[in-house]
Amino acid sequence: MTTMTSEEIRRGLAENARAPYGAARNVHAETLGAAAEATGDRQLFRAALVCQIEAYEYSAERTKMVVPFARLLQEYDRDPGSFASHEVHRLFWRFKWVAGRIVESPEIPLTAVDGWLTDMERRYRLAGYSERAVRQAEFHLADAIGDEARTERAITGWAAADRDAMSDCHACEINTQGWYWARKGDDAKAIEVWQPVLADGMSCMEEPHRVLAHALLPLARLGRTDEARSYHLRGYRMARGKESLLRSVGEHIEFCALTGNESRGLEILAEHAAHLGPLADVESQMEFSGGVLVLLRRLTDLGHGDRPTVSYAGAHRTARELYELLYGEATDIAARFDARNGTSLVSQRLVDRIARRPVTDALPLGVRSVRLAPAAVPAPRPGQDAGVQDDRAARGAAPAPAEPDFPALLAHARTARQQGHPSADRLWAEVAELAAAGGEATTDADPVLAADLLAHRAVLAAQAEDPKAADLYVEAASAYRAAGHLGRAAHAELGVAGCAARHGAEPEEIRALLAAATEAARELEDTDPERTRRLLAAELATLRIGTHLSERAADEAAPPSGTAHLGAALARLVAEHGDEPAARTAGAGGIADLIADSEVTLARLALEEHDLDRADILLASAAGRLIAADQPWDAVEPLTLRASVLAAHGDLAAAESEARAALGHAVESTDGAEQAGVRLTLADILLRQGRDGAQEAVLHALDATHWLDQAGLEATAGARARLLLARAYAAAERTAEAAEVLQSALPDLLEQGEPEGVQAREMLGGLLRELHDPHAAAEQYLLAAETAKGWDEPGFEAGLAHSAGEALAAARLTREAEAAYERSLELWRRAGGNPTAEVRLLRSLAWLAVEDGSTDDGPVRARALMEQAASVVDGSDEPALRYEQAQTWQQLARLLQDTLPEHEDEDEHEVEVEDEGSGMGEAVATTSSEARAIREQVVTLLDRAAGLYATLGTGALTERFQCLAYAAWTEEELGRAEDAVVRMTACVAELGSYEGPEAAELTARAQGVLHALT
């Protein structure tokens, strides 16, 4: 092994301090510690021990810190005087960490633990520290062994003692205190105690991460599900991938398991599967595994015990297999703690946790998760005590359900079908189930029922795109005719034609089937109440399907005119039948829904021609017609579409009113896409109104994602809904939640097409920048730029490259940022017509040149770039470009000022200058000729910028004041105090001539500068 020099060790310690926490950092710290000890340099050895302790504390090996800390304590006891004051403080501060770690180490006897606490108390008392930290450490021990009396004494003493330099950060203390009340079963009190941390008022390395995780189930149990959802999205993002927060990760998994989000829990488990094995910190292992066990038990209860989960111990495991392995390991750890503590408390707490029941059936989280496949019959969960009966059995068998009233159910189903009510399919499913249970006798006694059941099967098959649907409709039509229900037979024949069209039959066959359906409707008696409806339905179907066939057969050289023909024909039908009494009624003889459907189609055609006014009139008529006919569920579509039209017109108040009306009428709808559509429309309208509507928009968009997920559309419409949800979260300034939702939907959005993928990546990049993650933000911008590379308009790629440059600069990746800026600059120049972007890029490159310390010519290059930027917009009459010109001069002035040496050189000297006003002399520093020349240039540049800002009026008042004040101080540095005073006196007078709060504030600031100068 090569011996490291002291300098190499110091460099290694500095590098390790910047490394990510985890096993690699721990190993490096151990290597450096051994090397430092070998040098015989006691101070270096102490630094290496501190490096080890720090690395362990924020990893999954935190209990290993006891050994290096004991050695550090020995060093102190051997020679306290060799420790600097900051080293002593660091030693005592880490004593608290060790006090917690020994409690979490089952191999350390209780007598030794008590000995450590006694020594800590003695040392703190001798050093003059409060006993607050000591009582906090004692609280953890008392709670671990279940000594309630000692726990109460410790927490009381902790609260009573003064906070001092050894007290934990307030956020960490609040974490533990709230956790104490949660342990006692008082969820409301726990949330109250945690509130300062939950409200983002306090933070540290591991807060609010831990409190957000602790609060999840208490909030869910209190019914505060919106907060629980929010804290899960925020908190998991903070805890993800951090070894020291595995307990918190386990709590997030448990929360998902108990709120109907088992698939989300599985995804989190997969992200942390590498940490499932044995850990040095066995308590963290047990707590993390405890959350996982709750999930695996829940999956097994739901019948997913054979579902594959993650690889563990060299093999892929099902939920049941993984449960058995982790259960054995966790209970073994709990038994070790109990053996040390002389109780069974830890084992009992673990068993109680695993047995927790769901707090809600389903809490939509908004993030994309893979749906669980339909489950088999739930099997007994693994590890379940054979002597413990299922909860349902323990409560006693449920009473036998009452015998269903089949005739009433059948009448209800027929009425719902006649009205077009959304419940019709469900009711017919119940009828079919009961009829099947009754056998052939049921259908033999009622031949119409047999036809109805065939029609129901045909509808289901058609909805499933099953080719057998046509044959079922044929059978249904025949059965209806045999039973004397010719109107229903005509309807079934129309179903046959529709199936043929959907499955690509030959046009001649489809037209023949449509003609047969029309003839069947025409043969109905004039007195038959269904005749008008059947005839109109057949005519509408013939029109629509005929248009489709015409377009399919149209020659490419001759654009199809079928759409225009359809529009004219529908308009004629609406004009002919729209005022008939039947057009205002529902049921067998009513045609209100058919006329309204025609009006909606006409409205959509009008929208294709950008005729918003005509679309608005048609949609209002359709919605009013359906509501008047007592079919409000069918009014949801025209109301939702009209809300979008009104929003496009800019009438957001009316748009919101229509969207809310649609939402109210959707209460009976069972169509997931429709339920989602109205909610997304309302959310979008609320977002257009600004931040005030963002919070409500979040709720509607969240509901929409849930409806789409339930409808199996999570990868398509659900992804677009999540994009809107992310926008709503961002508008409500809930950035972490927006990022979490958008990241979960990103893979699906990338499948929607390049424009959608670029939009999603660009938005995600912006969110990540707000979350102070510039590396990840730059990655998204660059990936989006690569996607946009081949587009006809280079401006998209240029803008994305510019954003990537800003993110890379924030990440201090100077070379990469420079490359991104230059790429954007080249693209904008190629595209032309965007001098604003060009000048801003040149300024950004100038600042990078200053920050780049790798060469000596940085300031020279920076100035050249600034002057190049000024030339791009020089002499422009456009106000926006004059503003950019002023910004360039102002930034160049600041850049030059920043290039001045921190200390004036040896040419500087002090001279006595007589103060004419008071007769007193004062020392004024005069600078070297070079520094003085730079300051003269600064004043000139600031005057140029201020002059340009003056031409922009009150819109650039703040910037003008900044230039004048900066110039005044620079003049004062040049020894021209009188000029500075004159300048600021004029500035005060100028600002005082303007009205408004901004001018008043700037006047006060200018007066402050003037006062300081005089």
pLDDT confidence of 554, banded at 50, 70, 90?
Answer: low
Residue 909 above 90 pLDDT?
no
Neighbours of 802 (CB within 10 A): 23
Spatial separation of the C-alpha atoms in residues 491 and 493, rounded to whole Å: 5
pLDDT of residue 124: 93
pLDDT > 70 fraction of the chain, expressed in percent and rounded: 92
Q: How much of the chain, in percent, has pLDDT values that exceed 90?
A: 75
Nearest to 520 by CA among 549, 477, 483: 477
Amino acid at 148: E
Mean pLDDT calculated for residue range 489-506:
92
Q: Does the pLDDT of residue 878 top 80, yes or no? A: yes
Q: Is the pLDDT of residue 924 over 50?
A: no
Q: What is the DSSP string of 942-1005?
A: HHHHHHHHHTTGGGGHHHHHHHHHHHHHHHHHTT-HHHHHHHHHHHHHHHHTS-SHHHHHHHHH
Structure token digits, residue 800:
């994305």
* SS3 per residue for 480-542: HHHHCCHHHHHHHHHHHHHHHHHCCCCHHHHHHHHHHHHHHHHCCCCCCCCHHHHHHHHHHHH
For residue 565, what pLDDT band results from cuts at 50, 70 and 90? confident
What's the pLDDT tens digit per position in 352-374?
Answer: 999 999 999 899 999 998 878 76
Quickly state the pLDDT bin for 918 (edges 50, 70, 90): very low
pLDDT at 930: 85
Q: In this predicted structure, what is the pLDDT of residue 984?
A: 94
Q: Are residues 500 and 512 in contact, defined by beta-carbon separation less than 8 angstroms? A: no
Residue type at position 907: D
Q: pLDDT-derived band of residue 571, with 50, 70 and 90 as boundaries?
A: very high
pLDDT at 730 over 60: yes
Q: Kindly report which listed range (374-388, 801-815, 918-932) carries the lowest average pLDDT score.
A: 374-388
For residue 535, pLDDT beyond 50: yes
Which DSSP category does 63 fall into?
A: G
Lowest-pLDDT choice from 285-299, 582-596, 775-789: 582-596
Residue 444 confidence (pLDDT) above 70:
no
pTM for the full predicted model: 0.84
For residue 309, what is the enclosing H or E element? strand 308-312
629/651 Cα distance (integer angstroms): 28
Q: Which of 439-443, 495-499, 556-560, 582-586 has the highest mean pLDDT?
A: 495-499
Distance CA 164, CA 64 (A): 27
Lowest mean pLDDT among 335-344, 829-838, 906-915: 906-915
Residue 342 confidence (pLDDT) above 80? yes
pLDDT at 944 exceeding the cut of 80? yes
Which of the four pLDDT bands, split at 50, 70 and 90, describes residue 637?
very high
Q: Is 913 helix (H, G, I), strand (E, B) or coil?
A: strand
Average pLDDT, the chain: 89
Q: Please say whether the beta carbons of 269 and 310 come within 8 A.
A: yes
- Mean pLDDT for the stretch of residues 873-894: 93
- Note the pLDDT of residue 441: 57
CB of 682 closer than 8 Å to CB of 661:
no
Average pLDDT estimate for 11-29: 91
Torsion angle defined by CA atoms of residues 64, 67, 69 and 71, in that order, rounded to the nearest 10 degrees: -160
Q: At what angle do helices 562-577 and 592-608 cross, to 10 degrees?
A: 140
| 65 contacts 54 by C-beta, under 8 angstroms | no
- The per-residue pLDDT for 912 is 33
What pLDDT, on a 0 to 100 scale, did the predictor assign at position 831? 87
Quick check: 670 and 661 in contact, CB under 8 A?
A: no
Res 335 pLDDT > 90: yes
pLDDT for residue 390: 42
Instruction: Kindly state the average pLDDT of the residues 922-944.
Output: 78
Q: What is the DSSP string of 64-127?
A: GGHHHHHHHHHHHHH-GGGS-HHHHHHHHHHHHHHHHHHHT-TTS-HHHHHHHHHHHHHHHHHT
pLDDT computed for residue 401 by the predictor: 52
Given this model, what pLDDT does residue 563 score?
Answer: 78
Q: Is the pLDDT of residue 257 over 90?
A: yes
How far apart are alpha carbons 31 and 68 in whole angstroms?
13
Burial group, residue 858, by CB count within 10 angstroms (0-12, 13-18, 19+)? middle
Pairing label, strands 921-926, 909-914: antiparallel
Q: Does residue 751 have a pLDDT over 60?
A: yes
Which of 323-327, 584-588, 863-867, 878-882 has the least mean pLDDT? 584-588
Least confident of 619-623, 677-681, 857-861: 857-861
Judged against a pLDDT cut of 90, whether residue 587 lies above it is answered with no
867's tokens: 């002057």
pLDDT tens string 955-994: 999 999 999 999 999 999 999 999 999 999 999 999 999 9
